[in-house]
Amino acid sequence: MRPTNAPSQADDRPAAAAGPGPVLRVRNLSVCFRTDRGVVTAVEDASFDVRASETLGIVGESGCGKTVTSKAIMRLLPERTSFLKPGSSIALAGRSGGPDLDLARAPESVLRGVRGARIAMVFQEPMTSLNPVFTVGWQIEEALKYHTTLDARARRARVVEMLRLVEIPNPERRAGEYPHQLSGGMRQRVMIAIALCCEPEVLIADEPTTALDVTIQAQILALMDNLRRRLSTAIVLITHNLGVVAQVCDRVMVMYAGRVVETGSVGDIFHRPHHPYTAALLHSIPKAGARRHAQRLPVIPGIVPSLTDLPPGCRFSDRCASRRDACGAGEPDLTDAPTPSDSPGVARAVRCFFPIHHAAPPAAGNAHTSPPRADP
């Protein structure tokens, strides 16, 4: 079993093929919150696509806007204190050639029929997401009762089938147990079963392995990847663990202070990062042998800036080792970057005035090579 802090699997995962159109298309997503200090924009102008059977990883430090993005897609943010800016679009592909559904403008009555049936979410901590007073079987059956026409016997059979699908032993007995009777890994498997019981086209997983030990974490990731292949589900995986990204993702979107700063295939991002923030994240991954040579683990100085007190110009400029005068003069746009020959059909973009340039791809399997420095 490969440890999840070793991103060498980025070499082994081919770039996702272009194939049919995206299942989920997000355009110009901007999420604002009303606070005592005025309106704060937590996510600004985020755009991305996810195709069937593809896994998109969204990475960044805490406070970069990853979870807000996921909850905005599901329309689970509190309406009294948050809103989407005009122009934000969250298009879920229509079924059987029908028109796309814009979740950003859909009424709550429509959203209730979409959540769980066509787009589902696995939350970070299952113990706070599962209801402690109902059995796990009842909670899986609840989604089936609302979104399907199955009778009671068929629903109970589907519950056992889903528990077996997520590899819970003795599913008939486990269906009658309560969340506190299950281990952390089993509870997370139940959450995945609830999310997938109606076979949604899109699954959003928000830090699904954070509270699990490394062995259970590897099992959950393998399970999700297997289900993606079997059900052709598009997955949006939100995490701060770059090892997890290397293990299961096809493409990566890096966020910083509410902005998308870089996108590309997982292999390209790991070996040829263009943004200094992406390179710094990769540089901070523990490397085999570093302890033997008494090397200190590199860290990114400072913290993610407060959204109410952003630095002028580039939002990463205060922490960037390659900062220049122009970085504080204005904020760079997200611009297209060269797409390497080994990642055909995968768009590459970076938000930086002075992106890192790479003369040639590194040798295969050299994922731990130190990222190159930005041009002097």
Tell me which of 7-16, 90-99, 196-205, 217-226 is least confident: 7-16
Distance CA 19, CA 344 (A): 12
pLDDT of res. 359: 58
Is residue 314 within 8 Å of residue 353, measured between CB atoms? yes
CA atoms within 13 A on the CB side of 240: 13
262-288: pLDDT as tens digits: 999 999 999 999 999 999 999 888 776
User: Residue 163 — very low, low, confident or very high, per pLDDT cuts 50/70/90?
Assistant: very high
Greatest alpha-carbon span in the chain? 68
Q: Match 């996702």 to its residue by tokens.
A: 16
pLDDT of res. 181: 95
Is residue 129 within 8 Å of residue 182, measured between CB atoms? no
Distance CA 344, CA 356 (A): 20
Across the range 176-188, mean pLDDT stands at 92
Per this entry, what is the length of the chain?
Answer: 376
Phi, psi (5° rounding) for residue 56? -105, 125
Three-state DSSP state, 145: helix
Q: What is the mean pLDDT of the chain?
A: 86
Domains in the chain: boundaries: 17-52+62-239
315-359: pLDDT as tens digits: 999 999 889 989 988 899 999 987 765 555 678 999 999 999 865
pLDDT of res. 128: 85
37-85: pLDDT as tens digits: 899 999 999 999 999 999 999 999 999 999 999 999 999 999 999 999 9
Across the range 90-115, mean pLDDT stands at 91
Residue of 270, 236, 243 lying closest to 372 (CA atoms): 270
Note the CATH architecture for domain 17-52+62-239. 3-Layer(aba) Sandwich (3.40)
Distance CA 295, CA 316 (A): 26
pLDDT of res. 376: 38
Distance CA 217, CA 21 (A): 31
361, exposed or middle or buried, with CB in 10 Å at 0-12, 13-18, 19+? middle
Q: Which pair of structure tokens corresponds to residue 236?
A: 């949006």
